[in-house]
Amino acid sequence: MNISSTEGRVIAIIQNRENPTQEVAILYVAEENGFVTSGITRHFGVREIFIPAYMVVKDLDLTGTIVAAILEDISQAHEAESAFEYRPFFEVMGKGYLLRKSGGYMMLEEAQQDEGYFPYTT
């Protein structure tokens, strides 16, 4: 997967409240059947995130909350001048999610019970 910001259509922009110059766009990329962030690498030097289309279609608000939570972690590490690494598992609103390297991106996925990250409430 090699997606440039000119190949997708911007569907949303997330702006850092503390530093409004830090904007991350979410782009729809039809040929990959998903969405990618654009701006994380530029502002923070870490991989962009790929979000499968089904997750956005299933619950757009939840997907936005997930991306915002990840961006908050990245921003806090950046402000503290500490290294940031994506956590392979995290929870948002009582559900578990995974981030795995896939090409040049971090692939966002829903955690499944058989992946050993439970218990968490569903």
pLDDT tens per residue, range 38-56: 999 999 999 999 999 999 8
2 in a structural domain: no
Contacts 24+ apart (CB under 8 A), 101-105: 101/47, 102/1, 102/50, 103/1, 103/2, 104/1, 104/2, 104/47, 104/48, 105/1, 105/36, 105/47, 105/48, 105/49, 105/50
CA distance 84 to 96: 20
The more confident residue out of 9 and 113 is: 9
121 in a structural domain: no
Give the confidence band of 7 by pLDDT, cuts at 50, 70, 90.
low
Angle at 101 between CA 92 and CA 1, to 5 degrees: 115
120 in a structural domain: no
53 in a structural domain: yes
3 in a structural domain: no
- Strongest mean pLDDT among 12-26, 38-52, 57-71: 38-52
The stretch 4-12 carries a mean pLDDT of 67
This prediction's pTM: 0.82
Domain membership of residue 23 as a residue range? 9-115
The structural domain count of the chain equals 1
DSSP-based three-state secondary structure for 74: helix
Q: Give the pLDDT confidence of 66-122 residue by residue, as tens digits.
A: 888 899 899 889 889 999 999 999 888 888 999 999 989 999 999 986 555 555 444
